[in-house]
Amino acid sequence: AVTAVLTVSSLVAGMLYQYVLLPMHLEYLKTIVFILVIAALVAVAIFVFSRRDLGSVSTYTGETKKKLIQGAAFAFVIGVYDGFIGPGTGTFLIIAFAMLGFDFVVAAGNAKVLNFVSNLTAFCLFIYSGKVLYAYGLTMALGIFIGAFFGSRMAIRRGSGFVRLIM
């Protein structure tokens, strides 16, 4: 149920960010995206390196109301970031799931579900708005699919330590 609640939260975020993003002027958007990506990725790197035990083993003890609320908040904020900016979203989701008590392998699997939902939402809203470059999008989707296919197998085979190292 945690993944279901987080998925709904990610879906709502996906719709919200499109209403902010679509009318924005491209020059402002480029500057905002560049600054936020660098700041977010540096902050996450510092956070992960300062919490050596994060995601190494599962400490998840089950659903609680507190965890559902925390998870929904994580999914919403990260979902908005994903639609508005994008790079690093998978890493942020993995960290959020690890903070809820999942090990990195399970966190990475759950993160894929939320990332898919927020990307699908953005895709549908961009199609609706007539702002999709299909040739680029399909090429990138194929690359993402191939990377996810082989990456997930490697993560399962090598475990949480490997996922942490790659992050």
DSSP conformation letters of 20-43: HHTTS-HHHHHHHHHHHHHHHHHH
Asked whether residue 69 carries a pLDDT value surpassing 80, the answer given is yes
**Per-residue pLDDT averaged across 70-87, rounded?**
79
Q: Indicate the pTM of the whole model.
A: 0.66
- Cα radius of gyration rounded to whole Å, the chain: 16
141-150 pLDDT tens trace: 899 889 888 9
- Measure the CA–CA gap between 98 and 100, rounded to whole angstroms: 5
Asked whether residue 123 carries a pLDDT value surpassing 70, the answer given is yes
**Cβ count near 106 (within 10 Å):** 18
The two structure tokens encoding residue 127 = 């199609």
76: CB partners within 8 A, 6+ apart = 9, 10, 12, 13
Quote the distance between the C-alpha of residue 8 and its chain's center: 14
Asked whether residue 167 carries a pLDDT value surpassing 70, the answer given is no
- Measure the CA–CA gap between 87 and 93, rounded to whole angstroms: 12
16-56 pLDDT tens trace: 766 776 677 778 777 877 888 888 888 888 887 788 787 67
**How many contiguous H segments (helices) and E segments (strands) does the chain have?**
7, 0
89-106 pLDDT tens trace: 888 888 888 888 888 888
